[in-house]
A and B are shown apart, each in its own frame.
Chain A
C-alpha cells in the first residue's frame, strides 16, 4: 500500500467516491461467486431442481453488472487521481523555478508526468480492488467451508496463509528490483531524447550510426535487467500457483475418498470443489497484480519525491509578503554570494552593487563569469546563499515574486519558443491585442520575417523553434520584452548575440527606446550595445572587477 497515494485518494472527494464504488463492486462480485457455487452444486448434485437454473442466471447477470460497475469506477478513479497528481507535479515544477530545474533531466520529467503516471493504472484499477476482495472473500469462503465440511476447511485454513507469506517473501525482493528497473526505463527515455536531440551534431561528426549500437546496448541492458526482475517475479507466481493447485488436489482427493466411504454427500463435495479455489484466487490475484502495480508504486514514489523534495531556500513566509513600493525602484545588492549545489566555486562572490532608477547598466565579462547569475538573482530564480537583494529597500526574498516579475521584462540567453503560434509566443503572459503584438514585433525587428511565414503571426512554431533561425528566435523573444510596455525594468541577456550588424543596429536602437524611463541591466558582448550604457560593470569569476561610468552614455 502506498501511504502517500492513499492519503491523496482520501483527501480528494471525487477520487474517494469512485474508489469506494469500485471496491464495493469488486467485493460484491467476489461474494456473488459464492452464491453461484451454491446454486451450481445444488443443481449438479440433484439437490435442487432444474428451476434453480433461473436464480443461477440471475446471479450471473448480477456478477456481470458488478463487474461493469467496478471497471467504470476504477477507470474514473485512475484518471481522477492521475489528473490531481499531474497537476500537482507540474505546479511543483513551476514553483521550483528555472534555476532548480537544471538538476532534473527534462526527458525524465516529461516521461514521469505522462507515461510515468500511467503506470499508476494497474495499481489503482487492479491492485487496490484486488486487495479489498482478498480481505473479504477468502474469509467468507472459509466460513462457508466450515459450515459445510470441517476437514476441507481445515486444509484450506492451513494452506491459505502460505500464499501471503510466500508472496511477501518474494515480493519484498521484487520491490527493490522493480524500482531499479523503473529507473532504468526512465534513463532509457532520457538517453534516447538526448541522442535524438543531438542527432544533427552526431550526423555532422559521423557518429549517428555509432549511436545506434549504443542504443542497442542500452536496450540490451534494459532487457537483461527486466528479465532478472521477471525471473524472480514469475518465480513468486510459480510458488503461489503450486500452493493453490496442490491445495486443490489436497482437498479433492480426500473428498473423493470420503464420498467413496459414504461419509459425505455429493452436493457438499461439489460445493467444496467449487469453493476451495475461490479462497485462493483473490490472494493470488493480489500477487499477480502486485508485480504490475509495483511500477506504479515506483512512479508514485518518484512523483512524491519531486512534490516533497527539499524546497531548498523557498521564502519562509510565503503568506506574509511585503508590499512593493510604487515607481521604478532602486536595486541594491548587499554582499551577495550565490552558490550552486554541486559546485565548489561560488557563481557570485560578495557582490555589492546599487543600480539607481532609470540607469542603463551593461554587464560585461567572460562567458561563465556570473553575468547571467546576476540577472537570475534579480529575477528571483536564484536566491543568495549569503547577503541580500533589496528592491526599493525591501528584501526580494520577502516579496511576491509573481508581482515583482510583472514589473520586469526579461530575455534569456537561450529563449524558449513554445509550441504555439508566433503571436502567442510574443504575447506570452499578457493579453496583448494583435495590434500590440505587431507593434512589438516591429520594434524587435521581427515583423518582416514573421509576416513572410506561411500563416504569419498564426504560424505554429515547431518544437524548440525548429522552423526559425537562431537570430529570428532571438528577435521573437525580444519582441516579448517589447510587448510589456508597463515593465519598469529590463533584463536582457546578450540580446544581439545571434544577430548580424544591420539587425544589431536596429535592436540597439530599439533597446534605447525601450530603456527610456526604465532601469535596464543588459548582459552585453558587443560594442554597440555597451556604448548605449550609462555604466559598464565588468564581472570576472563571480566578482565585480570594474564599475565605471560610460563616456557618452545613451545621450
Chain B
C-alpha cells in the first residue's frame, strides 16, 4: 500500500483509519467468528465420529464400544446447523453496520469539499459498490478465514495423533489450498481489479449520458452513437469480468485437485504405514471434509483484492482535502449586523489557469445593496463562491466585521452569507420539503409569504404543496426552478443576502416585475446581487462591472450610464429592445 501523503492529518484519528467501520463491534464480530468455527468443527466431528463408528463396527466389538460415537454423531449433526445459523446472522449484522458507517463517512467527507471533482454517476457506483466491499471483507473474507483456520488446526492435530506422516501431507495440502491459492488469486485479481471499478464507472457515466441527455440525443439523432459508446464500455467491462471468472474457476479447480490428491496421498501413506483400517478411514474422511471450509478461500482471496482496492478508493475520497480548509481554532462567529470587506481578492480555480477573480475589492456595509454585472464568465459567481467559502482565494482577504474569513468556520460563514446560488437543485421530495430545507422551523405562514414574494403562488396553488418534484427538477420549468430557489433564499433571510441571477429563465415581464419586487423586499437589507439584466439597478447603492475577473467600472447607475463602457452599451441595447414586451 502506498504511503498516504495526508497521513499526519488523518493520523489524529487512527481508529477511524484502520478498523474504523468496525469500531464498537468487537463483541458481535467475536460471536460471529466463534459460531462459524464451531459449525465447521461440528461438521469435522460428525464425519470423524461416523467414520470411526463404521470401521470400528466392522471389527464387531461389543455395542458399548460404539455408544459414545453414536451419541457424538447425533450431537454433531444437530449442533452444526444451529451454529451456522448463529454465525450467519451475527456476521451479516456486523457487516451491514460496518457498511452503513462507511456510507455515512463517505458522505461526511464530501460535505466540505466545495465543487465536486468526482462525477455524480461515478460517485453513485463507488458508493454502492465500494461500501459493499466492507460487507464482503467481513462476510466473505475475514469470518470464513477464521473458521477455516480453526478447522485446519483441528484436522491436523487429529492427524498428528493418528499418523504424523499423514499429518504432514494434510498440512501441506491445506496450506496449498488455504494460503497459496488465495494468495495467488488475490495477486492475480489485484492486477486488474483496479481496472474493474473504472470500467464500471465508465459504463455508469455512459448510461447517465443516455438518460440525462435523452432529449438532446433524440433531437440530434445521436442515440445510436451514444448507445454504441455504452455498448463499448459494457464490452470492456465484460472482458474484465470474464477474466475474473476464469481466474476464479481455475482456482476452484486447483482446490478440488489438491483436495483429492491430498486424500489419495494420505491413504497411500496410511496403507504403507499399516496403521489399520479404523485410523486410515478416519484420516481419509477427516481430511476430505477438512477441505470444505478451505476451498472457498480461493474465491475469497480474489474478492479480497477487490475489497482492498475499493477501500483504497474510499480512503482517497476521504483524504481529498476540502477546497476551503477549516481553521484550526474557529473564531467566534460574527454578530449581525455584518460589514463585509473584500480586499484585492484573487481566485484561481486551478493552478496554471487564468485567475477567475483578479484583484477585486468591495465593501458591503449593513443595509447596503451592491450589484455585480458583467458578461458570463467574468467571475461574478466566483465572487459569490468565495464569499460562501465554497471556493478558496489565492491572495487578498475577506473581512467580516473585521475578522478574516479564513479564521471563521465555513459553516458559520454560510450560516450568515447565503441566498440564491448558481444551479439551484430541486430534490425529489415534496414542494414543501424542497422549500423548507432553507428554513426547517418555518411555519405555514412564512412558507406562504416566501412563495408569494417569489411570485410562485399560482404555480404552488396548481401543483400543491405535497406534490413530489422530479429528480433534477425535470418536471419543473426553468422559471419555476429559479423562483423556487428565490423563495428558499427569502425564507432563509440571511444576514447578507446573495442573489445569483435571480431573474434568470424568466420571461421579460415577469423578470422585470420580480426584480422590482426584489429591490423592494431587499430595501435596507445587506444584499449582493449578481445579474446580467440592468433593468431596475437604478435603486442599488453601488454597481460593480466585472470583466475577465477585474473591476472595470464601479459607481451608481447614473454615473455609469454617463460613461462609455460595458454598462452603457448593455443599458442602451436593453432600452432599445425593450420596446416590444
Contact = CB atoms under 8 A, between A and B. Distances in A.
B242 interface: yes
A466 to B, nearest CB: 7
A257 interface: yes
Nearest to A214: B107
Interface residues of A, number: 171
Interface stretch (B178-186, B260-268, B399-407, B520-528): B260-268
B277 A46 contact: yes
Interface in B113-135: 115-116, 119-125, 127-129
Contact of A525 (B70, B96, B116, B511): B511
A487 B276 CA distance: 92
Interface in B309-332: none
A219 B100 contact: yes
Contacts of A86: 230-231, 234
A528 B573 contact: yes
Contact of A75 (B50, B58, B213, B242): B242
A454 interface: yes
Contacts of A525: 505-508, 511
Could you tell me the dominant secondary structure of chain B's interface residues?
helix
B195 interface: no
A3 interface: no
A542 B284 CA distance: 83
A550 B580 contact: yes
Nearest to A208: B111
Nearest to B578: A527
Given A93-B210, A270-B54, A57 B261 contact: yes
A17 interface: no
B205 interface: yes
Contacts of B116: 196, 199, 466
A75 B241 contact: yes
Interface stretch (B26-34, B143-151, B363-371, B424-432): B424-432
Interface in A394-416: 401-402, 405-406, 408-410, 412-416
Contacts of A209: 108, 111, 411
A312 interface: no
Contacts of A241: 80-81, 84
Interface stretch (A143-151, A159-167, A328-336, A366-374): A366-374
B301 to A, nearest CB: 15
Interface stretch (A4-12, A171-179, A496-504, A513-521): A496-504
Contacts of B123: 193, 196
Contact of B577 (A74, A527, A551): A527
A97 interface: yes
Contact of B478 (A43, A53, A101, A497): A497
A197 B116 CA distance: 9
B227 interface: yes
A324 to B, nearest CB: 14
Contact of B414 (A189, A206, A452): A206
Interface in B50-108: 50-51, 53-55, 57-58, 60-61, 63, 66, 69-70, 73-74, 76-78, 80-82, 84-85, 88-89, 92-93, 96-97, 99-100, 103-104, 107-108
Interface stretch (A130-138, A226-234, A313-321, A433-441): A226-234
Contacts of B55: 44, 266, 270
Given A86-B234, A471-B376, A113 B246 contact: no
Contacts of A234: 85, 88-89
A326 interface: no
A470 interface: yes
A388 interface: no
Interface stretch (A63-71, A297-305, A349-357): A63-71
Interface in B369-414: 373-377, 381, 388, 390, 411, 414
Could you tell me the dominant secondary structure of chain A's interface residues?
helix
Given A44-B280, A270-B281, A227 B504 contact: no
B245 to A, nearest CB: 3
A249 interface: yes
A106 B211 contact: yes
Contact of A192 (B70, B119, B127, B206): B127
A106 B471 contact: yes
Interface string A447-472: 00100101000000011101001111
Interface residues of B, number: 167
B361 interface: no
Contacts of A56: 260, 264
B411 to A, nearest CB: 6
A419 B211 contact: no
A246 B78 contact: yes
A215 interface: yes
A494 B478 contact: yes
A189, A206, A226, A235, most chain B CB atoms within 10 A:
A206
A107 B353 contact: no
A503 B77 contact: no
B423 A470 contact: yes
A365 interface: yes
A480 interface: yes
A230 B95 CA distance: 12
B334 interface: no
A379 interface: yes
B66 A256 contact: yes
A526 to B, nearest CB: 6
Contacts of A273: 50-51, 54, 285
A194 interface: yes
Given A245-B80, A368-B459, A71 B92 contact: no
Interface in A171-219: 185, 188-190, 192-212, 215-216, 219
A36 interface: yes
B268 A463 contact: no
Given A53-B268, A196-B116, A234-B85, A72 B245 contact: yes
A121 B188 CA distance: 21
Given A245-B80, A266-B54, A189 B128 contact: yes
Nearest to A77: B245
Contacts of B510: 366-367
A555 interface: no
A44 B57 contact: no
Given A223-B100, A246-B78, A193 B574 contact: no
Interface stretch (B3-11, B161-169, B216-224): B216-224
A492 B66 CA distance: 91
Contacts of A210: 440
A209 B414 CA distance: 13
Contact of A364 (B80, B253, B256, B507): B507
Contact of B70 (A50, A253, A494): A253
Given A197-B120, A252-B53, A429-B220, A60 B96 contact: no
Contact of B63 (A110, A220, A260): A260
B553 interface: no
B531 to A, nearest CB: 9
A524 B104 CA distance: 45
A68 B381 CA distance: 60
Nearest to B121: A110
A469 to B, nearest CB: 5
B81 A262 contact: no
A463 B245 contact: no
Given A90-B207, A114-B204, A202 B216 contact: no
Contacts of A484: 220
A98 B261 contact: no
26 contacts: A40-B263, A44-B267, A60-B260, A63-B260, A68-B249, A68-B253, A75-B245, A78-B241, A83-B235, A93-B214, A94-B210, A192-B128, A193-B123, A197-B120, A215-B103, A215-B104, A241-B80, A245-B76, A245-B78, A253-B53, A253-B70, A266-B55, A345-B462, A419-B205, A429-B225, A449-B377
Given A93-B214, A249-B50, A259-B54, 12 more contacts: A64-B257, A91-B227, A113-B207, A196-B107, A212-B104, A239-B81, A253-B73, A416-B213, A429-B221, A430-B220, A464-B120, A464-B212
